[in-house]
Amino acid sequence: MAIVFNLNNQPILEMKKNVIANFEGKIIGYLDQDYIKNLQKKELVKITAGKIINAFTNENIASIINDNIVNINKQVIGKVKGKSEL
């Protein structure tokens, strides 16, 4: 299981097995191998080697460095704990 936190250290997403849910328990997407997919199971982003890549344009949009999620300008935009799912 992985939990994504905002900059105020509030949990915003939970990734468990192949499901992504908000903290109200509503399923908002899916994990399928290296991809995050929407509810229609269309690929949105690929997570590979610490990079978060736009599935449509193949552009690097963020990275996971240690427990931090960083944008392309190297600004911390969130945190993730329990990365074994990612």
| Number of structural domains the chain divides into | 1
pLDDT value for 82: 85
This prediction has a pTM of 0.80
How large is the average pLDDT for residues 23-47?
94
Q: How far is CA 36 from CA 8, 69, 73, in A?
A: 24, 15, 22
Q: What is the pLDDT of residue 35?
A: 94
pLDDT score for 83 = 65
Q: Tell me which DSSP letter residue 84 carries.
A: G
Quick check: 55 pLDDT over 90? yes
Hey, what amino acid is at 18? Answer: N
pLDDT at residue number 17:
86
Instruction: Give the domain range for residue 69.
Output: 2-85
